[in-house]
Amino acid sequence: MKKNAPVKKNDIVTVEFEDLTHDGSGVAKVDGYPLFVPFALPGEKAKVRVIKVNKGYGFGRLEEILEQSPDRVDYPCSLHKECGGAQLLHLSYEGQLRAKEKQVRDALERIGGLKGVKVHPVMGMENPWQYRNKVQVPVGFQNGRTVAGYYKKRSHEIVDMTNCGVELSMDDSIVLKIRDILVDNGITPYDEKEHKGTIRHIVVRWAKATGEIMVVLVTRTRTLPNQEELVKDIVKAIPNVKSIVHNINVKRTNVILGDRSLTLWGKSTITDMIGEIKFAISPRSFYQVNPVQTKVLYDQALQYAQLTGEETVIDAYCGIGTISLFLAQQAKKVYGVEIVEDAVRDARENAKLNNITNAEFVAGPAETVMLDWQNEGIKADVIVVDPPRKGCEESLLNTILAMKPKRVVYVSCNPGTLARDLRILEDGGYKTVEVQPVDMFPQTTHIESVACLELE
């Protein structure tokens, strides 16, 4: 017979925290029963109010810290507890890096059963603030005025954007300028309950290497009122703007961009660089949001690929060709495959932009295209994968095992799915040599990793 939870709702309990969850909550135990408490840190003793009780675990709210962690810091954001975007602002940056290394190590051991794999200390940032090159915020109407910012945690109430420690500081001011320009031109914010109003989101993209800025206005309507005046006002207010785009999203959806984009002014793309490689970025391009750490991440992938200029490389999930073109600098030939056709078009254009002729891109499911290549006699020496958070499709992992490249370089944004997939590759004859975590998202719980595998 299962025993009942040792706590009930609204109990105040004194606990000691021993760990962090993957979403940054502190973990404490009451008679072996886990309590998850936001904003608590390992090593702290605190009074906690129990706010929810499930069979196997509960949730609490921090009432009073009795013994504080030496890693606790004052955070520079008045909206930290409301917004939920940067879950670790209250943890020192050194503490964040240690916690992320532990997150990767724990996932490999617990989920993948991979003991003794060398996990290096996390490659962090010298300045872990205001690093994002893209901001996308909803626009709404609250308390009699137009607001543009972030949703409050677990709600659809928008917190007006003032100053964010994570976004680039220029993005804050640009968003607020655009918000005011929209108001001045009588453009109404979107009401998601009624599915009325015009402007849904403001998206700003910034190219660090060139300083070029793209502004994307996402509307529910197919037309944009006062379009000419609006464009004039934006160009006047934002000196570095090189592209103003109108994106149309008529659906009732929480997906930000619609299928149709019209360039209202300037170019349809902006240009950025990672190392020596140029990239043309469109409104829909997937492009890493931390330009400084992107180079660190890709340099690590390149190092693990161990290219001499004689290798054939396959880049699965190649996107707009970011990693492929990096690899092409040192490989004999790179084949990139990506299921999104627009991304493949962008990848081909980016290859042309850089005069890279030894990279070829195909649209389709990676596992199918790779089997076709194998049947054509293409033999990969190295396969690089950079999948979404859900990890690789099992069919793709089976294709890798069938192709038997000497090395696999796995770029991951989710330690859990990385551990699961490494287990499958290890069972198929590969050895995980080492894993290098890279902090692409300081102040949040997210961590990227690059794993190097060799065929045994």
Residue-wise burial string across 327-363, b where 16 or more C-beta atoms lie within 10 A, e elsewhere? bbbebebbbbbbebeebbebbbbbbebbebebbbbbb
- Average pLDDT on 4-11 reads 91
Q: Please give the angle made by the CA atoms of 407, 410 and 411, to the nearest 5 degrees.
A: 145
Q: Is 60 exceeded by the pLDDT of residue 58?
A: yes
Q: Which two tokens stand for residue 206?
A: 């910034």
Which helix (H) or strand (E) element contains residue 145? strand 145-151
User: Across 290-364, where does the E strand assignment appear?
Assistant: 312-316, 333-338, 359-363
Name the fold adopted by 101-126+290-455: Rossmann fold (3.40.50)
Per domain, the residue ranges of the chain are: 12-72, 101-126+290-455, 134-274
The pLDDT tens digits of the residues spanning 99-122 come to: 999 999 999 999 999 999 999 999
Only one residue has tokens 């655009």, namely 178
* Per-residue confidence band for 164, with pLDDT thresholds at 50, 70 and 90: low
Interhelix angle 366-375/394-403, nearest 10 degrees: 20
Show which residues are catalytic. Answer: 413
For residues 203 and 218, give the distance between their C-alpha atoms in angstroms, rounded to a whole number.
8
> Which of the 8 DSSP states describes residue 104?
H
What CATH number belongs to 134-274?
Answer: 2.40.50.1070
List the one residue out of 430, 440, 438, 348 whose CA is nearest residue 383. 430
- Phi first, then psi, for residue 316 (nearest 5°) are -80, 150
Q: Answer yes or no: same fold for 12-72 and 134-274.
A: yes
For residues 219 and 229, give the distance between their C-alpha atoms in angstroms, rounded to a whole number.
17
Decide if domain 12-72 falls under CATH 2.40.50.140. Answer: yes
The pLDDT tens digits of the residues spanning 201-251 come to: 999 999 999 999 999 999 999 999 999 999 999 999 999 999 999 999 999
How high is the mean pLDDT of the chain?
92
For residues 27 and 221, give the distance between their C-alpha atoms in angstroms, rounded to a whole number.
46
The pLDDT tens digits of the residues spanning 300-353 come to: 999 999 999 999 999 999 999 999 999 999 999 999 999 999 899 999 999 999
Which helix (H) or strand (E) element contains residue 410? strand 407-412
